[in-house]
Amino acid sequence: MMSKPYLFVDFEFTMPEDHQKRKGFVPEIIEAGVAVVRNGEVHDTFSSFVKPEINSLLSNRCMQFLDITQEAVDQGISFRELIAAFMKYESQCMSTVVTWGNMDMYVLRKQCLQAGIPYPFPNKEIDLSMEHKRFYGTKNQTGLMKALVEFGHSAKGKHHRALDDAMTTFEIFKLMEKDKKYLKRAEPSTIGELVDFSRLLAHMA
């Protein structure tokens, strides 16, 4: 499975102040992180702040929660430049996009629609948090950092930094693939493995 090209993607978004939540606040991407993975190895990364267009001024809540400054976002690329970067990756390889949760692609699709820009990822997408929920049989979806800790690992970067979270998603993906391979190897493939004949004969004697 890891022989396929993958794009591990994470975004950070604008956030409303508490009093703005009731006014139909529209989240926008303000930071993007991408890890390009081929044959199980990171071949390239992309990281940039992105200037929002609808709500250009970040809320205090957003800056405090993400530990991000208005100046950093003001110096970022435009949304159109972000899409151009994604289109470049897609032209190089028909990748499967992997995110943790469905919010990233939901906001990206909505922003593309609002800007009249074609959606850049026409191929398969994987919500790894849902894959994790189904595979391990958890009742609810698990947070990114909690999932990593449950594997006995600690984050190498900073949570809510887009590229660091994209790399963490890739790390969890690898750990899940290892568990899938282990379970596949553990499955009995012959009747001799399914039945302990020595115990059966002893019981019949």
Q: Which amino acid is at 166?
A: A
Catalytic residue flag (residue 160): yes
Q: Which amino acid is at 70?
A: Q
Catalytic residue flag (residue 177): no
Of 12, 28, 31, 171, which residue is the catalytic one? 12
Distance CA 57, CA 43 (A): 35
Of 125, 150, 159, 160, which residue is the catalytic one? 160
Distance CA 131, CA 176 (A): 9
Give the catalytic positions in this structure: 12, 160
